[in-house]
């Protein structure tokens, strides 16, 4: 199924917003692109790169005439954006978002959605550790899943149209309830980021090992965790503030497991360690078989890092 | 400084052992290569690939005539290897290893080193998540650090010769005391692996989120941790059994930090989260500036994973 919206309004022009604009240019999905960003500097950079047809200083101006509106701001800022556009949304328009938490989006944006529009929360599971309007690129969503969490009263053809918009970028789409999304992502995304941030913080606070040693010898494994710990701090602050219960649940599970590993190390229980380490290989194989990571050793990094 | 040993004996032909053999062929460092592996299957594969000049079913046969002997077995197996070769080591030969723990190597191998040989424990901070004799490649050590932990009575010219062997592969060499090595690596390598294994185990034990969902939506961050969690289970069991004190120390620090983060989430303390997340970016920048990781987004992975 091919889809062509008349005009997509992208509110927020960071990594995800700018990537959507590039993807629309590259693969279609809308005849024109209007963009809005809160910061004048972001608008200036967006104009310089030229990934939108029109740029607007206010969100309300950007959504005029748009039949698809995508909120691409940090989760904590989406409620205010929805409030700012509510009187300018065209009848029949789809309003969606790209936030990493869906319960908070339903809670914060829901009350501001006009009854003549259709609110379909969404979340492309795609990104890089970079942020801002220069970080976007058209291929970001290729081969990645996009989760839609439609509310029960949304007309199916509207959900189908939004699904087709994402599949046009090379994404696969799955639909689920918002509360299940928040639990799944707490495990596959929020907990890993928290653990990565925490490991980096641990390394930064040692007195026996210098920062310079941590950096030099990071190829032993530490560097892998620093990539996701370099992600946008505002976005991630908002994720943890807005998915508190699910994150604390996963963190509790993580800590329980860690106690078991810690005891195995303390007691010299090699069998428990070996069995747990062996099981971990299977999930990596599953991820590669599902096309969600590269099979190349070291993520295919060039060992010289000269590229 | 260029170095040319007469014959290097590589005992253990997995990822590191086979990579050393490939690197000697590619960059020099020894006129001939003899290899030994405990498993007949590994010897068969090594013969098929042809990265050694001679292959031997016993370690003692492999070290005959060798002026450089490298133990490339898991840490827990090196003591037995040192014992097996002790009557066959040539006078003046250097014996080194590549283990991720140095205290245990000194403890287990030290007593078996003949007085006419020179024991210089070593550790190249290089590897991939793959293992076995097919996993090796000549470029593995390029741009990576190799740590040597010479004992006080080792003649400096012997340490210099071993250093030149590693720099010939494109490595940089640092010398430090074995106990400091074990503390540094507990932070930069052992703790990250433990955390990665533990995160994967947590994901595998959930009843609310299926394995299939974890795999599908792993691009949210989880997949990054699964790479190091796919490393060789035997090697890593031995690391944790043999660097217990330093690992438990770092794990204690990690758990303390995690309690702070957990409380900040529970209390909705966005400022603490934001400040900690912001600091984490600096260490990533330091790692890239030091040439220890790629600056390309997502480690430069091809998003389609078709390569």
CATH code (residue A169): 3.40.50.720
Position A134 in a domain: yes
Residue A294 pLDDT greater than 50, yes or no: yes
Position B121 in a domain: yes
Please indicate, yes or no, whether residues A250 and A262 belong to a single structural domain of this protein.
Answer: yes
Please indicate, yes or no, whether residues A34 and A133 belong to a single structural domain of this protein.
Answer: yes
In this predicted structure, what is the pLDDT of residue B111? 97
A300 touches chain B (CB under 8 A): yes
Domain boundary among A176, A204, A220: A176
In this predicted structure, what is the pLDDT of residue B302? 77
Report, as an integer, the average pLDDT of A30-43.
98
Residue B100 pLDDT greater than 90, yes or no: yes
In this predicted structure, what is the pLDDT of residue A2? 65
Residue A76 to residue A38: CA distance in whole angstroms: 14
In this predicted structure, what is the pLDDT of residue B243? 98
Contact A202 B280 (CB under 8 A): no
User: Between B264, B277, B294, which is nearest A236 by CB?
Assistant: B277
Give the chain B residue nearest A285 (alpha carbons). B230
Position B295 in a domain: no
Residue B245 to residue B241: CA distance in whole angstroms: 9
Which DSSP category does A87 fall into?
Answer: T
Residue B119 to residue B79: CA distance in whole angstroms: 13
pLDDT band at A306 (very low <50, low <70, confident <90, very high): low
User: Between A139, A266, A285, which is nearest B248 by CB?
Assistant: A266
Residues 150-189 of A with CB under 8 A from B: 170, 174, 183-185, 187-189
Position A304 in a domain: no
Quote the distance between the C-alpha of residue B66 and its chain's center.
23
Report, as an integer, the average pLDDT of A69-94.
98
What is the span of the domain harbouring residue B148?
5-176
A267 touches chain B (CB under 8 A): no
pLDDT band at B2 (very low <50, low <70, confident <90, very high): low
Please indicate, yes or no, whether residues A256 and A286 belong to a single structural domain of this protein.
Answer: yes
Domain boundary among A176, A210, A238: A176
pLDDT tens digits, one per residue of A199-228: 999 999 998 999 999 999 999 999 999 999
Please indicate, yes or no, whether residues B192 and B156 belong to a single structural domain of this protein.
Answer: no
Report, as an integer, the average pLDDT of B165-185.
97
What is the predicted ipTM? 0.95
Please indicate, yes or no, whether residues A21 and A39 belong to a single structural domain of this protein.
Answer: yes
In this predicted structure, what is the pLDDT of residue B170? 96
Neighbour order of strands in the sheet with B5-11: B54-56, B30-36, B5-11, B68-71, B94-97, B118-120
Mean pLDDT of chain A: 96
Residue B21 pLDDT greater than 80, yes or no: yes
Report, as an integer, the average pLDDT of A69-96.
98
> In CATH, what number is assigned to the domain containing residue A187?
1.10.3660.10
Report, as an integer, the average pLDDT of B94-123.
98
In this predicted structure, what is the pLDDT of residue B307? 45
pLDDT band at A3 (very low <50, low <70, confident <90, very high): confident
CA distance B256 to chain A (A): 9
Position A302 in a domain: no
In this predicted structure, what is the pLDDT of residue A51? 98
pLDDT tens digits, one per residue of B179-237: 999 999 999 999 999 999 999 999 999 989 999 999 999 999 999 999 999 999 999 99
Position B282 in a domain: no
Q: CA-CA distances (angstroms) from residue B300 to A159, A305, A307?
A: 33, 10, 9
Position B9 in a domain: yes
Q: Could you give the number of structural domains in chain A? A: 2
pTM of the model: 0.95
Position A35 in a domain: yes
Give the chain B residue nearest A145 (alpha carbons). B217
Residues 226-255 of B with CB under 8 A from A: 226-231, 233-234, 236-238, 240-241, 244, 247-248, 250-251, 253-255
Report, as an integer, the average pLDDT of B145-156.
96
Contact B187 A203 (CB under 8 A): yes
Judge whether A49 and A133 are in contact, CB under 8 Å: yes
Please indicate, yes or no, whether residues A64 and A137 belong to a single structural domain of this protein.
Answer: yes
Please indicate, yes or no, whether residues B149 and B194 belong to a single structural domain of this protein.
Answer: no
Please indicate, yes or no, whether residues B152 and B228 belong to a single structural domain of this protein.
Answer: no
Please indicate, yes or no, whether residues A74 and A196 belong to a single structural domain of this protein.
Answer: no
Report, as an integer, the average pLDDT of B282-290.
94
Domain boundary among B124, B146, B176: B176
Please indicate, yes or no, whether residues A49 and A151 belong to a single structural domain of this protein.
Answer: yes
Please indicate, yes or no, whether residues A113 and A247 belong to a single structural domain of this protein.
Answer: no
Which DSSP category does A112 fall into?
Answer: G
Report, as an integer, the average pLDDT of B43-60.
98
Please indicate, yes or no, whether residues A168 and A185 belong to a single structural domain of this protein.
Answer: no
Percent of chain A topping pLDDT 90: 95
In this predicted structure, what is the pLDDT of residue B3? 72
Q: CA-CA distances (angstroms) from residue A277 to A271, A296, B234, B236?
A: 10, 20, 8, 8
Report, as an integer, the average pLDDT of B15-23.
98
pLDDT tens digits, one per residue of B61-80: 999 999 999 999 999 999 99
User: Between B223, B270, B307, which is nearest A296 by CB?
Assistant: B307
- How many Å is the Cα radius of gyration of chain A? 21
Residue A302 pLDDT greater than 90, yes or no: no
Judge whether A96 and A120 are in contact, CB under 8 Å: yes
Give the chain A residue nearest B256 (alpha carbons). A202
Report, as an integer, the average pLDDT of A257-280.
97
User: Between A139, A140, A279, which is nearest B204 by CB?
Assistant: A279
Neighbour order of strands in the sheet with A122-124: A122-124, A145-148, A172-175
Contact B273 A195 (CB under 8 A): no
Report, as an integer, the average pLDDT of A239-248.
98
Other Cβ atoms closer than 10 A to B50: 10
Query: What phi-psi label fits residue B2: left (phi over 0), alpha (psi between -120 and 50 degrees) or beta?
Result: beta
Residue B75 to residue B234: CA distance in whole angstroms: 9
């Amino acid at each position: 199924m091919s889809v062509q919206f008349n005009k997509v309004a992208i509110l927020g022009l960071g990594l995800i917003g700018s990537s959507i604009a590039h993807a629309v240019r590259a693969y279609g999905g809308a005849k024109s692109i209007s963009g809005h960003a809160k910061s004048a500097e972001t608008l200036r950079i967006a104009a310089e790169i030229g990934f939108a047809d029109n740029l607007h200083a206010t969100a309300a101006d950007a959504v005029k005439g748009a039949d698809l509106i995508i909120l691409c701001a940090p989760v904590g800022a989406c409620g205010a954006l929805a409030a700012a556009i509510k009187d300018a949304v065209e009848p029949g328009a789809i309003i969606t978002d790209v936030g990493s938490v869906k319960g908070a989006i339903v809670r914060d944006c829901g009350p501001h959605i006009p009854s003549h529009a259709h609110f379909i929360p969404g979340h492309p599971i795609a990104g890089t550790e970079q942020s801002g309007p220069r970080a976007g690129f058209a291929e970001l969503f290729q081969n990645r899943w996009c989760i839609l969490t439609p509310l029960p009263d949304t007309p199916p053809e509207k959900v189908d149209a939004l699904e087709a918009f994402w599949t046009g970028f090379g994404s696969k789409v799955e639909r689920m309830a918002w509360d299940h999304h928040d639990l799944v992502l707490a495990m596959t995304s929020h907990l890993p980021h928290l653990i990565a941030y925490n490991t980096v913080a641990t390394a930064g606070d040692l007195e026996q090992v210098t920062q310079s040693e941590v950096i030099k010898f990071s190829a032993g494994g530490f560097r892998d965790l620093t990539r996701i710990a370099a992600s946008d701090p505002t976005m991630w602050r908002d994720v943890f503030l807005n998915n508190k219960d699910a994150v604390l649940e996963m963190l509790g599970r993580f800590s329980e497991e860690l106690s078991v590993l810690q005891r195995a190390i303390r007691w010299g229980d090699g069998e428990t360690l070996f069995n747990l380490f062996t099981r971990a290989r299977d999930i990596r194989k599953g991820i590669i078989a599902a096309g969600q990571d590269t099979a190349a050793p070291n993520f295919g990094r060039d060992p010289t890092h000269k590229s």
